[in-house]
Amino acid sequence: MLVYQFPLQTNFYKGKVRDVYTIDDKWLVMIASNRISAFDIILPKPIPYKGQVLNQIAAYMLNATKDICPNWLMNVPAPNVSIGKKCIPFKIEMVVRGNLTGHAWRTYNSGKRILCGIELSEGMKENDFFSNPIITPSTKADEGHDEDISKEEIIAQGLATKDEWNILEKYALQLFERGKQIAAKQGLILVDTKYEFGKIGNEIFLMDEIHTPDSSRYFYAEGFEKRQLAGERQKQLSKEFVREWLISNNFMGKEGQEIPYMSDDWVQTISQRYIELYEKVIGEKFIPENLSEEETYNRITNALKSF
């Protein structure tokens, strides 16, 4: 993926799956690539249209939740590009869970009953609903793996003040409730997700992408209870199937482990799963766009002129 140089550009950061340009220390140009990561490792092959899927779902969801809290997004000039306000980020991710799934289930199944300072009930099965959604924050690591952290540790370490935490908690739970409502209209269950927040001055803003398959997990609502009672796997739309494929091929991002070979057919399967989630969550047909790098650059620079 080409690295651009924009007028008034003051910084560039290449993330695991996105390229982020800082403009005049005020704006961010966030380009969602087709790179895919799992277990904090970038996998060797890009996934067609993944960047467009993530960017357009995130824009849809940010617009659908802007009455809950202010967010960073200002413009979507190209299918895989968002421009918005630069915030000073909190170095935590607000992970909200409605069901005992994924990392929470793996922790629970190992015998532990405390997750991020929250006590989990006995007698739960994988994918069961919690009585109320829980927040299980993690640290935002610049390198390596994110780590679980409790509310008390966040405040003690100065990652957020008590007042800031109360606002983050309120926003995260309200956003999750809205996400569940949007999902329910499409026959889906929003199982878990993560939110990132930052500040401009004293105001807290929602940042990054929300309710996408990279940041969230969805189950199909139809047949959910029947599958739970029968102890069957839930039908889901998320990136978890990529993680499960890696685990089945003895890869969990640990030192010395080799990333399994990704066939072209498998890459296309992943792409189709992303497109399926877009169409299911948004409720509209996905229209793939293939802009040249020059056209993408021109759209971004034209949008920046309006700022």
The DSSP element (H or E) to which 57 belongs, if any, is: helix 50-64
pLDDT for 206 equals 98
Phi first, then psi, for residue 145 (nearest 5°) are: -90, 145
Q: What is the pLDDT of residues 189-237, one digit of tens each?
A: 999 999 999 999 999 999 999 998 888 999 999 999 999 999 999 998 8
9-88+270-305 has which CATH code?
Answer: 3.30.200.20
Q: Tell me the pLDDT band of 187, cut-offs 50, 70 and 90.
A: very high
Average pLDDT over residues 99-121: 96
Mean pLDDT of the chain: 94
The residues with which 88 forms a beta bridge, in sequence order, are 199
Q: Does residue 33 contact residue 11 with C-beta atoms inside 8 Å?
A: no
pLDDT for 145 equals 63
Q: Which residues are within 8 A (CB) of 12 and not within 5 positions of it... i.e. 6 or more apart?
A: 3, 19, 20, 21, 22
Q: Which residues are within 8 A (CB) of 172 and not within 5 positions of it... i.e. 6 or more apart?
A: 94, 96, 135, 195
Structure tokens at 125: 């099965």
**Max Cα separation, the chain?**
59
Share of the chain above pLDDT 70, in %: 98
pLDDT for 22 equals 97
User: How many Cα atoms within 13 Å fall on the side-chain side of residue 110?
Assistant: 9
Q: Tell me the pLDDT band of 40, cut-offs 50, 70 and 90.
A: confident
Q: What is the pLDDT of residues 54-85, one digit of tens each?
A: 999 999 999 999 999 999 999 999 999 999 99
The DSSP element (H or E) to which 55 belongs, if any, is: helix 50-64
Average pLDDT over residues 296-307: 94
Q: Does residue 130 contact residue 99 with C-beta atoms inside 8 Å?
A: yes
DSSP one-letter string for 69-113: S-BSEEEEEETTEEEEE--EE-SEEEEEEEES-THHHHHHHTT--
User: pTM here?
Assistant: 0.90
Give domain limits for the chain.
9-88+270-305, 91-238
Q: Where are the alpha helices (DSSP H) in 124-210?
A: 151-156, 162-185
pLDDT for 144 equals 56
Yes or no: is domain 91-238 CATH 3.30.470.20?
Answer: yes
Q: Tell me the pLDDT band of 255, cut-offs 50, 70 and 90.
A: confident
